[in-house]
């Protein structure tokens, strides 16, 4: 069953009931100020870093699940019709006569009606601003005047979300606010080392306000029944310690049919250190710098302009790749939601969702490098900056910190270290960037290691070290040592953890001179071939070359790739599929010899993507094995048979009950690797079939089973060994977004950037007779019309009326802004 519907025209998902199986959320903000918002206005906001600069509180894993948000209460003050309710349904859960939530590109709008009072609240963050707007429109649809009270409510977080949730002996004493001219300023710790504060403002004259939670709610009440809302009277409380909140009270008289807009803004502001108080000797916030921003966005026409700018911004971004195919689920994911999700994963990495607390993880090295693959065409300048930030956290050994905090941009080992696949992903990110943009200058950028001044080297040198890192760490079979784990965080072959609660990610490991990963071997071949391609281009530049680094030849990388390939054939091929690893006892994993974990998805995908066995039928054999052993109607599971018990020598993978997460769940990130592989083998029907099995839009009709949002990918769908096979979890922040985007846009639809121009090599379902792709690339708009004439995958291209050799559209002459391409598939 469905809980809503897609409105493709408006690029929105429309939720028709507040009681979705799980909170279905959206994200606000695009660069520094961010928020998460559910379909019932739950969620929270932060500046840059969900852990270190949290603006509002949220209570994870609560009952009900979605507790804490951007709440508005309405109260009918007429004694004859007196009642109060939440126009977003939560937190009062008063039954509404009508409810609708529209999640769109960077905004969420919730509309409802009760007893003839309609309310619509549009939430968004204006481009370039560190604030969010709640624009409330009230309409009196009664034939009588209405006398209403509106209460806003948020709970401030004391900045460090971890500390805020744990350190009460201090925190109950430090909360401070100021309330001036109806604006509530949250300034905890501003008196000492913080130069930033939050503010919560309202466009209307206030009938009252509150800043102390207990005074607003009442000591023994929850957000579902605040005392102040019940009585209709704010306490005008000023908090001293305890729990600072922000609540405005506005009284509204509406004639029959009358409409009124009320604007709230919640924002973050920084002052310069030496000008933070006004007067300078006081402890009062200097508000001169923030007041112009506040007064600007309290004006309805400015809000409208800002919303329009956001809309146009997203139209422009999405316009970079648009497609019209016979499949509506493909169209809507490519044109709208998958592109949108790649932006969200680019911004958030794995830090803040309804499954990631924002406290646990910062920006992951391997996560962010892969996220770039799906994002780079949207805003290449931001991809460039991200690449340089990530590379600056790389270690001199070529290895990488597993993550960094976005606020400080410094790498750390908080979530573990020594994942031996990490650095190789950097190669894929950088080459994808150069293919997209033609910006070779990035390779010259001087980037430090571990952010240490004096250690700078050209980015190209970082890539060399990434490759060398693997070569320096080969095991007994000549395969790469796995380290703490490879892409599969839970394959912990050096961990041997038998202590309850110990973290598989951070606990001290064995030295790890034995356990090897076939996955890293495949990834190495892929990355080394990419390096070879890059160097070949650099060599080709000959005289014209203007790089400031010494170049290893493409030959060098091809040789290393070939050597690794032959090692894989020797020790990593099981006869019908690729093996997964060798453990600390040098026993094989992912082989017919194993009782459990006989076949894993990751090496099949990565090795075939790297080109292994594509020519000689072995890749096809591996794909057949995937279809036979791993594929289910809900997607492809990670491995089979699932581990039925905990294996000390395998680690976290066997800690999960069978069918969940890495233990044979459908770990969606890996599925597009199989789609790409099938496309490489020319199997368009198969590739698109796999694509559709996990396509959230195609799963909309089974939302009661799937349970997560039908407009974005989730990390995992429970596998066939699980009681809840088909149920999704961990929505939004997953490499699934980028990789599916790559699989469908570059490999199935087949329009992909190369160093020399756009390549067109579709491998689509045989039933597709026609489709069209519009792609912006290096400032040129390519309108590509594709028609199937035969049943194969051979293409013939006609570029602006002239047929060309090969399938790469040559870069157009300067000043040409649009190119028309006709493609026939034979």
Catalytic positions are: 489
- What is the three-state SS of 247-266? EEEEEEEECCCCEEEEEEEE
Q: Where are the alpha helices (DSSP H) in 500-642?
A: 518-540, 554-567, 601-609, 618-629
| CB nearer ligand GLC, residue 368 or residue 807 | 368
The candidate with the shortest Cα–Cα distance to 687, out of 343, 322, 370, 327, is: 327
Yes or no: say if 729 and 28 are a contact pair by the CB < 8 Å rule: no
Shortest distance in whole angstroms from residue 488 CB to ligand GLC: 5
| CB nearer ligand GLC, residue 350 or residue 788 | 350
The candidate with the shortest Cα–Cα distance to 341, out of 777, 771, 710, 717, is: 710
CA angle, 344 then 346 then 350, to 5°: 80
Contacts of 421 by beta carbon, 8 Å cutoff, 6+ apart = 366, 486, 487, 517, 519, 520, 523
Shortest distance in whole angstroms from residue 497 CB to ligand GLC: 12
Buried b (16+ CB within 10 A) or exposed e, 370-395: bbbbbbbbbbbebbbebbbbbbbbbb
Residues making contact with ligand GLC (CB under 6 A): 350, 364, 366-367, 415, 487-490, 505, 652, 661-662, 715, 734
Burial degree of 570 (CB within 10 A; 0-12, 13-18, 19+): exposed
What is the rounded distance in angstroms from the CA atom of residue 43 to the CA atom of residue 34? 11
| CB nearer ligand GLC, residue 415 or residue 619 | 415
Shortest distance in whole angstroms from residue 645 CB to ligand GLC: 17
| CB nearer ligand GLC, residue 364 or residue 762 | 364
Shortest distance in whole angstroms from residue 462 CB to ligand GLC: 20
CA trace torsion 681, 685, 689, 695 (10° rounding) = 90
Q: Which residue is nearest to ligand GLC (CB)?
A: 489
Cα torsion 801, 802, 807, 808: sign: negative
Shortest distance in whole angstroms from residue 658 CB to ligand GLC: 14
Yes or no: say if 467 and 527 are a contact pair by the CB < 8 Å rule: yes
How many CB atoms are closer than 10 A to CB 116? 16
How many CB atoms are closer than 10 A to CB 673? 25
Shortest distance in whole angstroms from residue 662 CB to ligand GLC: 5
Shortest distance in whole angstroms from residue 13 CB to ligand GLC: 24
| CB nearer ligand GLC, residue 517 or residue 567 | 517
What is the rounded distance in angstroms from the CA atom of residue 49 to the CA atom of residue 38? 19
The candidate with the shortest Cα–Cα distance to 340, out of 97, 562, 107, is: 107
| CB nearer ligand GLC, residue 490 or residue 534 | 490
Q: What is the DSSP string of 712-756?
A: S-EEEE--TTSTTTT-EEEESSSTHHHHHHHIIIIIIS-EEEETT
| CB nearer ligand GLC, residue 499 or residue 550 | 499
Element (H, E) at 380: helix 380-391
Shortest distance in whole angstroms from residue 365 CB to ligand GLC: 9
What is the rounded distance in angstroms from the CA atom of residue 214 to the CA atom of residue 237? 9
What is the rounded distance in angstroms from the CA atom of residue 299 to the CA atom of residue 609? 53
| CB nearer ligand GLC, residue 204 or residue 367 | 367
Shortest distance in whole angstroms from residue 724 CB to ligand GLC: 17
E strands, 307-385, in order: 321-324, 363-364
| CB nearer ligand GLC, residue 715 or residue 746 | 715
CA angle, 611 then 614 then 615, to 5°: 120
636 three-class SS = strand
| CB nearer ligand GLC, residue 149 or residue 505 | 505
Q: Of how many residues is the chain composed?
A: 826
Yes or no: say if 742 and 748 are a contact pair by the CB < 8 Å rule: no
């Amino acid at each position: 069953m469905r809980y809503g519907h897609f409105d493709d025209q408006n690029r929105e998902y429309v939720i028709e009931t507040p009681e979705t199986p799980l909170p279905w959320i959206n994200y606000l903000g695009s660069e520094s100020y961010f928020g998460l918002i559910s379909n019932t206005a739950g969620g929270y906001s932060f500046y840059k870093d969900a852990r270190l600069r949290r603006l509002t509180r949220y209570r994870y894993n609560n009952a009900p699940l979605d507790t804490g948000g951007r709440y508005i209460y309405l109260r009918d003050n007429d004694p004859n019709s007196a009642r109060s309710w939440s126009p977003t349904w939560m937190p009062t859960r008063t039954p509404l006569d009508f409810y609708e939530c529209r999640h769109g590109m960077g905004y969420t709008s919730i509309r409802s009606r009760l007893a003839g009072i309609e309310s619509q609240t549009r939430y968004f963050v204006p481009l370039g601003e560190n604030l969010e707007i709640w624009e409330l429109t009230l309409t009196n649809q009664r034939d009588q005047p209405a006398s209403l009270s509106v209460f806003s409510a948020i709970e401030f977080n004391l900045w460090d979300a971890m500390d805020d949730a744990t350190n009460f002996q201090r925190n109950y004493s430090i909360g401070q606010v100021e309330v001036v001219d109806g604006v509530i300023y949250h300034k905890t710790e501003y008196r000492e080392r913080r130069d930033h504060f939050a503010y919560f403002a309202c466009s209307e004259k206030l009938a009252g306000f509150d800043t102390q939670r207990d005074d607003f709610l009442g000591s023994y009440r929850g957000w579902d029944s605040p005392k102040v809302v019940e009585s209709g009277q704010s306490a005008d409380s000023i908090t001293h310690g305890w729990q600072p909140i922000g609540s405005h009270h506005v009284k509204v008289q509406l004639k029959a049919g009358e409409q009124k807009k009320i604007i709230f803004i919640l924002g973050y502001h920084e002052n310069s250190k030496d000008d933070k108080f006004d007067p300078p000797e006081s402890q009062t916030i200097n508000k001169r710098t923030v007041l112009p921003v506040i007064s600007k966005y309290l004006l309805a026409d400015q809000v409208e302009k800002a919303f329009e700018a956001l809309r146009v911004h997203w139209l422009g971004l999405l316009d970079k790749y648009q497609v019209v195919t016979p499949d509506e689920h493909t169209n809507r994911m490519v044109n709208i939601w998958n592109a949108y999700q790649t932006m969200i994963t680019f911004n958030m990495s794995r830090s803040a969702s309804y499954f990631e607390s924002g406290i646990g993880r910062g920006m992951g090295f391997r996560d962010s490098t892969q996220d770039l693959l799906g994002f780079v065409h949207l805003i290449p300048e931001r991809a460039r900056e991200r690449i340089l930030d990530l590379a600056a956290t790389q270690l001199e050994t070529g290895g990488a910190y597993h993550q960094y905090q976005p606020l400080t941009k410094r790498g750390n080992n908080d979530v573990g270290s020594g994942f031996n696949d990490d650095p190789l992903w950097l190669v894929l990110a950088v080459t994808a960037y150069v293919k997209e943009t033609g910006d070779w200058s990035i390779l010259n950028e001087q980037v430090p290691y571990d952010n240490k001044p004096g250690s700078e080297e050209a980015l190209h040198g970082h890539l060399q070290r990434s490759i060398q890192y693997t070569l320096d760490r080969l095991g007994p079979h000549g395969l790469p040592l796995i380290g703490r784990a490879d892409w599969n965080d839970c394959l912990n072959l050096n961990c041997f953890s038998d202590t309850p609660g110990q973290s598989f990610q951070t606990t001290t490991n064995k030295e790890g001179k034995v356990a090897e990963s076939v996955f890293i071997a495949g990834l190495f071949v892929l990355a080394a071939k990419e390096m070879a391609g890059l160097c070949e281009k650099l060599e080709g530049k000959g005289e014209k070359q203007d790089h400031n680094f010494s170049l290893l030849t493409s030959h060098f990388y091809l040789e290393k790739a070939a050597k690794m390939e032959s090692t894989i054939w020797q020790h990593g091929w099981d006869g019908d599929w690729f093996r997964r690893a060798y453990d600390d006892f040098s026993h094989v994993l992912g082989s017919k010899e194993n009782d459990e974990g006989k076949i894993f998805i990751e090496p099949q995908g990565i090795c075939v993507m790297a080109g292994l066995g594509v020519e000689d039928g072995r890749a096809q054999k591996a794909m057949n094995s995937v279809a036979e052993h791993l594929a289910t109607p809900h997607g492809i599971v990670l491995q089979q048979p699932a581990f039925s018990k905990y294996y000390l020598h395998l680690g976290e993978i066997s800690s999960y009950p069978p069918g969940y997460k890495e233990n044979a769940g459908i770990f969606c990130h890996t599925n597009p690797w199989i789609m790409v592989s099938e496309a490489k083998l020319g199997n368009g029907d198969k590739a698109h079939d796999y694509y559709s099995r996990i396509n959230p839009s195609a799963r909309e009709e089974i939302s009661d089973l799937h349970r997560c949002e039908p407009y974005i990918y989730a990390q995992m769908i429970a596998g066939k060994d699980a009681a809840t096979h088909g149920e999704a979890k961990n929505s939004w922040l997953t490499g699934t977004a980028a990789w599916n985007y790559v699989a469908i846009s570059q490999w199935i639809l087949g329009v992909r950037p190369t160093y020399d121009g756009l390549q067109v090599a579709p491998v689509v379902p045989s039933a597709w007779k026609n489709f069209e792709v519009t792609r912006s690339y290096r400032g040129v708009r390519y309108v590509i019309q594709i028609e199937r004439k035969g049943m194969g995958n051979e293409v013939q291209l006609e570029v602006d009326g002239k047929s060309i050799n090969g399938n790469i559209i040559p870069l157009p002459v300067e000043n040409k802004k649009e190119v028309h391409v006709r493609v026939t598939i034979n």
